[in-house]
Structure 1
Amino acid sequence: MKTLMSAAVLAAPVVAMAVAAAPSLSHAQDTGVYGTLGYAGSRAEGADTGAVQGRLGAKLTPHFGVEGELSGGVKDDDIDTNGVRSNIEQTHSAAVYGVGFLPVTPNIDLIGRVGYGNTQFKQTLAGVESKFDADSVNYGVGAQYKVDDKNGVRVDYTRQQFRDNDAADANVVSVGYARKF
C-alpha cells in the first residue's frame, strides 16, 4: 500500500497538469477529462468477486492518456481449498494507468492500458475474518463506443499480476458508462 501511495503522490502532479491543460488542448481532436462508472467482475483461482468501479482520466492526445481507478467490493464468493470452505471478498482496489487509444471510427476507440495497483481482500475461514492487501502490475485491453460527443459505453479486460504470492492473479472484466467532461 505504501508503494501505491508513493506512486499516487508522484502521479498527482502529472494528472493535475493534464486536467489543467485539457481545456487548452480542446483544439486537438478528442482530448479532455473523462470518467467512467461501472461494474467489474474478477476471477482468481475459482473465486468470482465483483466491485463497483470508477475511473477519472485525462486524454492528453488522441492516442495517449492517464487514469486513476477506484473500486469497492459488492460481491463475495465461497471457495473450497483442499476441502476447506472459506469466503473471499475484494473490499477495495486502487490503481493508476497509462492509457493508449486507437481511434477505429469516429465513435469507436480501442484501448490498451498498463498500470500499478493495490487491492485489499477479506477472507473468512471458520468464522475468523482476516484482511490482506496485495500490490499488482495491471495490463489490459478494451473498447469504447461513443453514443454522442459526451456519453458512451466502455468494456475492458484487465489482468492483475499480484506481486504477493498469497494472492492469485486475477482476470477482471468491466463494463461501464463513460462520460467526457
Structure 2
Amino acid sequence: MSVAAIPALSHAQVTPEYYGSAGYGTTRADGADLGAIQGRLGAKLTPHFGVEGEVGVGVSDDKTYVAGAPVNVELKHQAAAYAVGFLPVTPQIDLLARAGYGTTKFKSSVAGLSASESQDSWNYGVGAQYKLDDRNGLRADWTKSEYTNSKADADTLAVSYVRKF
C-alpha cells in the first residue's frame, strides 16, 4: 500500500445510519396469540452490522385452556437489545439477522384470580427490509424468544414502517 492511499482510506470511514421503526407484532406463546405495538431505535454502524433496541406494549390478548379451564393471557410489555447483521441484496433490499437478550411481562387470569410474570429470554431472528426511498422503508421479521427460566418459547412475526434519521 502506498502512502498516498492512506488519506483515501481515512475518508472511507462509514458514518452510522440511525433509524427508528413503528409496527405491529403478533406473538405466539404457550398456545396464545398476543399482539403488540412495537418501536425500535437502531444504528447501522457499517453496511453489514448494527445494534437496535426494541420495546413493545401489548394490545391484543387471547384465551387458552388449561385442564379445561379458560385462561386469559395478556402480553403487558416487552423490551430487548440486539446485534443486527445486514446483507444488502439490492440497493433497495436488505436481508437481516439479529440476536439479543430481552424481557417480557405476561399476565394470566382464570376464575377471578390473576398473576403477572416476567420472563427473560435469548432472542434470535431473521427478516428483510425494503427501502421505499432514502429515508423510508418497510420491514418484516420473525423472532424466536427462548425463555431462560422455563422450557417455554415464543415466536413473533412483525411488520413495521422504518424511518432513517
The TM-score, its normalising length taken from structure 2, stands at: 0.90
* Kept in 2: contact 1:111–1:141 (CA 8 A): yes
Aligned to 1:156: 141
For 1:120 and 1:45, the matched residues in 2 are separated by 14
Structure 2: which 5+ residue stretches go unaligned? 1-10
Aligned to 1:128: 113
Give the CA deviation at 1:34.
0.4
Aligned to 2:14: 28
Give the CA deviation at 1:28.
3.1
Q: Per the alignment, do residues 150 and 26 of structure 1 end up closer, same or farther by CA in structure 2, a change over 3 Å counting? A: farther
For 1:44 and 1:121, the matched residues in 2 are separated by 10
Given candidates 104, 125, 141, the residue that maps to 2:126 is: 141
Superposed, 1:30-179 pairs within 5 Å as: 31-165=16-150, 168-179=152-163
* Structure 1 residues 87-121: Cα deviation after superposition (integer angstroms, max 9, x where no partner): 00110000000000000000000000000000000
For 1:109 and 1:34, the matched residues in 2 are separated by 14
| One-letter amino acid matched to 1:145 | Y
The structure in which a higher percent of residues are strand is: 2
Structure 1: which 5+ residue stretches go unaligned? 1-24
Give the CA deviation at 1:71.
0.3
Larger radius of gyration: 2
For 2:72 and 2:12, the matched residues in 1 are separated by 48
Instruction: Give the aligned length.
Output: 155
* Kept in 2: contact 1:26–1:32 (CA 8 A): no
For 1:79 and 1:180, the matched residues in 2 are separated by 39
Give the CA deviation at 1:27.
6.3
* Structure 1 residues 56-88: Cα deviation after superposition (integer angstroms, max 9, x where no partner): 000000000000000000000000012121100
Q: Give aligned-pair identity as a percent.
A: 55
Give the CA deviation at 1:45.
2.4
Structure 1 stretches of at least 4 aligned residues deviating more than 4 Å after TM superposition: none
For 1:151 and 1:73, the matched residues in 2 are separated by 25
* Structure 1 residues 154-178: Cα deviation after superposition (integer angstroms, max 9, x where no partner): 000000000121x720000000000
The structure in which a higher percent of residues are helix is: 1
